[in-house]
């Protein structure tokens, strides 16, 4: 299960009651925060996001609308007596910004704050069930996308069939991993003894980026892609000049990547109403939604 | 005219839809921002505060709930192509925090951002009609209150009397300043030729402070005083240990200072409902109000 909850869907200048970029990626076990614009901690309050399982924060790049809320969140967690480690992944420069602000108020955190500098396209974090990988996108300053991937689930045992063929328990783990049952007397195909597991889901967050087709191969056939659409398509020149994308460019990336679903965000404050973003993108990629604050999108 | 609009009335951890400290002090000509907790620029949007006349920002101290919103406001003003100078008054250390964040995003402001370090109790800014003075309060780190003072208005001319006594125009300015009309033939008392002007108003912002009676002489007979009341009075020990005040302590300061009116703020997130703050303070100082976000208090 991957669920994406939008905390902020606006670009740099907060407007129309929309907030700078931030979203929560939740799995059954983990809560990840992706970008942390000003007001993120208030948005987490507003939408009742529990912080207990939040141990990893991914910051795509160091434009303020993607990290100005981090220092407030860090200090509030401290005031709430958090004790468990907190990991922050970002381009170089963020730890200095946080440290200088903690120093000036003579604050000492009651938990360990661990910074990881993203320098390559690599696995940033993983456990037995899930991984988070960085991939480069194209913005005015170094900027990273994040690929969230469930690991393949084990096949489910068909207990009736197992009884029928008298398969000993010792073989169950191998069966879950897709192996056939082989004994001295017989070979039984895995499919006769197990059911298919739920498909492993994937979600790609493309951060801030100009239209860049090299992204497509990095997010190939992803279940859901978030791609910025700062502008509608009549502003394509402005978008390109500012290293941003339009609705149709986002749709083209989703289409060329063979993604199953597209979520648009990072809307310019010049737009009060957002309907047109979906309409324009749908001309190229039908399964498009506009990222709305407070809404959880189940991948 | 002095009007105080509350943008944030909560203490460190935002909660119950209340925001960290920030308020707007407006005169006929000027808009001053006092403290700038996270989300201040959104609150300014929410309550339609125009930024055109905002040229001076006063930061009481460098605890995050009083300045984390400054970098966001500064960069949004830049994105909105502000050109006029912006002055920020604060204890030492703030310019470094802002500069490191502008540098990491390779941002250059289109306007001059001028930092002033507050080191003494002194006039921070004044023009012909108004002044802002710093005064020291007692907190865990260096912390300043701000005293906003209208200058004495000129007396209003009584045009009927001036005609009756045939007073030449050349004397009008002297009359406005309270002088009597003296000619070779006669002396006419000022009061016969002018009306009293509106009284000059004053407002004192006491920032974050433990109970400190030395504040009283600095804000003597002020028209309205804002004093923090982080806790109700049963938490007086906790308040003192954390260099904060209670409802009744705030009221005692207002009473001893001979203030006309008290505004309570900086409420701990442990309180959902705020009514008790007013009730407790009123036992000592009747003319007390609870600072509510979005409300303008006309001094």
Q: What pLDDT, on the 0 to 100 scale, is given for residue A297? A: 98
pLDDT value of position B11 = 94
Kindly list the residues from chain B whose CB atom is less than 8 angstroms away from the CB atom of residue A39: 38-39, 42
pLDDT at A257 over 90: yes
CB B79 within 8 A of CB A13: yes
Q: To the nearest whole angstrom, how far is the Cα of A262 from the nearest Cα of chain B?
A: 28
- Six token digits for residue A134: 């960085």
Q: What is the 3-state secondary structure (H, E, C) of chain A?
A: CCEEEEEECECCCCECCECECEEEEECCCCEEEEEECCCHHHHHHHCCCCCCCEEEEECCCCCHHHCCCHHHHHHHHHHCCCCCCEEEEECCCHHHHHHHHHHHCCCCCCCCEEEEECCCCCEEEECCCEEEEEEECCCCCCCEEEEEEECCCCCEECHHHHHHCCCCHHHHHHHHCCCCEECCCCEECHHHHEECCCCCCEEEECCCCCCCCHHHHHCCCCCEEEEECCECHHHHHHHHHCCCCEHHHHHHHHHHHCCCCEEEECECCCCCCCHHHHHHHHCCCCCEEECCCCCEEEC
The answer on pLDDT for B186 being more than 90 is no
The reported pLDDT for the residue numbered A183 is 83
Which of A38, A63, A93 faces B39 most closely, judged by CB atoms? Answer: A38
Contacting B with CB below 8 Å, chain A residues are 12-15, 17, 19-20, 38-39, 41-42, 45-46, 62-64, 68-69, 71-72, 75-76, 79-80, 93-94, 96-97, 100-101, 104-106, 140-141
Per-residue pLDDT reduced to its tens digit, B115-146? 999 999 999 999 999 999 999 999 999 999 99
Residue bearing the bigger pLDDT, B81 or A183: B81
What is the pLDDT of chain A when averaged over all its residues?
96
The predicted-structure confidence for B53-64, as pLDDT tens digits, reads as follows: 899 999 999 999
- Considering only CB atoms, B64 lies closest to which of A13, A64, A101, namely A101
Look at residue A288 in the predicted model and tell me its pLDDT. Answer: 98
Q: Which residues of A touch B17 (CB under 8 A)?
A: 45-46
For residue B75, the chain A residue with the least C-alpha distance is: A64
Q: Which tens digits make up the pLDDT trace of B168-177?
A: 999 999 999 9
pLDDT band at residue B242 using 50, 70 and 90 as cut-offs:
very high
Which positions in chain B have a beta carbon within 8 angstroms of at least one beta carbon in chain A?
12-15, 17, 19-20, 38-39, 41-42, 45-46, 62-64, 68-69, 71-72, 75-76, 79-80, 93-94, 96-97, 100-101, 104-106, 140-141
How many angstroms away from the CA of B168 is the closest CA of chain A? 57
* Residue A106 reports pLDDT greater than 90: no
Q: What is the pLDDT of residues A161-182, one digit of tens each?
A: 999 998 999 999 999 999 999 9
pTM, 2 dp: 0.92
Among B63, B72, B93, the residue with its CB nearest the CB of A64 is: B72
The reply to whether residue B68 touches residue A64, judged by beta carbons under 8 angstroms, is no
**What pLDDT, on the 0 to 100 scale, is given for residue A184?**
81
Residue where the block lists tokens 């904060």: B244
Would you call A65 a catalytic residue per the annotation?
yes
Q: State which residue of chain B sits closest to A69, comparing Cα positions.
A: B38
CB contact under 8 A, B13 and A64: no
Q: Quick check: A76 and B12 CB within 8 A?
A: yes
How many Cβ atoms are within 10 Å of A128's Cβ, its own excluded? Answer: 7
- Report the chain A residue with the minimal C-alpha distance to residue B70: A68
Q: Is the pLDDT of residue A11 over 90?
A: yes
pLDDT band, residue A186 (cuts 50/70/90): confident
By Cβ distance, the residue of B38, B97, B105 closest to A72 is: B38
CATH architecture entry for B3-153+198-298: 4-Layer Sandwich (3.60)
pLDDT at B106 over 90: no
The pLDDT mean for chain B works out to 96
Domain ranges of chain B: 3-153+198-298, 156-195
Pairwise CB contact (< 8 Å): A76 & B106: no
What does the pLDDT read at residue B185? 81
Catalytic one among A35, A65, A208, A223? A65
Q: What is the pLDDT of residues A46-91, one digit of tens each?
A: 999 999 889 999 999 999 999 999 999 999 999 999 999 999 999 9
Q: What is the ipTM of this complex?
A: 0.90
Tens digits of residue pLDDT in B187-200: 999 999 999 998 99
Q: Tell me, what's the pLDDT at B181?
A: 92
CA-CA distance, B223 to B260, in Å (whole number)? 5
What average pLDDT does range A260-271 have in this prediction?
A: 97
Percent of chain B surpassing pLDDT 90: 92
Long-range contacts of B235-242 (CB under 8 A, 24+ apart): B239/B210, B239/B211, B240/B210, B240/B211, B242/B140
Return the number of CB contacts < 8 Å for A and B.
Answer: 91
From A14, A76, A101, residue closest to B42, measured CB to CB: A14
Residue A270: closest CA among chain B residues belongs to which residue?
A: B80
Task: Report the range of poorest mean pLDDT among A200-209, B104-113, B265-274.
Answer: B104-113
What are A191-210's pLDDT values in tens digits? 999 999 989 999 999 999 99
């Amino acid at each position: 299960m991957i669920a994406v909850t939008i905390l902020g869907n606006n670009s740099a200048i907060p407007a129309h009651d929309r907030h700078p970029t931030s979203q929560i990626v939740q799995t059954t076990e983990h809560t990840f925060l992706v970008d942390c614009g000003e007001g993120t901690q208030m948005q987490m309050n507003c939408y009742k996001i529990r912080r207990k399982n939040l141990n990893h924060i991914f910051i795509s790049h160091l434009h303020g609308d993607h990290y100005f809320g981090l220092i407030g969140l860090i200090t509030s967690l401290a005031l709430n007596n958090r004790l468990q480690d907190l990991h922050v992944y970002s381009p170089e420069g963020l730890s200095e910004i946080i440290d200088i602000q903690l120093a000036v108020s003579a604050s000492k955190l009651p938990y360990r704050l661990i910074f990881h500098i993203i320098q390559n396209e690599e696995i940033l974090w993983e456990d037995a069930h899930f991984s988070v990988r960085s991939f480069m996108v194209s913005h005015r300053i170094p900027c990273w996308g994040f690929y969230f991937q469930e690991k393949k689930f084990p096949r489910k045992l068909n207990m009736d069939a197992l009884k029928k063929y008298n398969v000993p328990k010792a073989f169950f783990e191998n069966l879950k991993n897709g192996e056939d049952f082989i004994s001295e007397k017989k070979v039984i195909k895995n499919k006769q003894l197990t059911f298919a597991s739920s498909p492993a889901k994937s979600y790609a967050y493309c951060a801030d980026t100009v239209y860049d087709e090299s992204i497509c191969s990095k997010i190939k056939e992803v279940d859901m892609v978030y791609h910025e659409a700062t502008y509608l398509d009549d502003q394509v020149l402005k978008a390109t000049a500012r290293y941003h994308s339009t609705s149709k460019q986002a749709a083209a990336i989703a289409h060329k990547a063979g993604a199953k679903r597209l979520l648009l965000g990072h809307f310019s404050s010049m737009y009060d109403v957002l309907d047109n973003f979906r309409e324009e993108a749908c001309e190229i990629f039908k399964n498009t939604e506009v990222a709305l604050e407070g809404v959880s999108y189940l991948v």
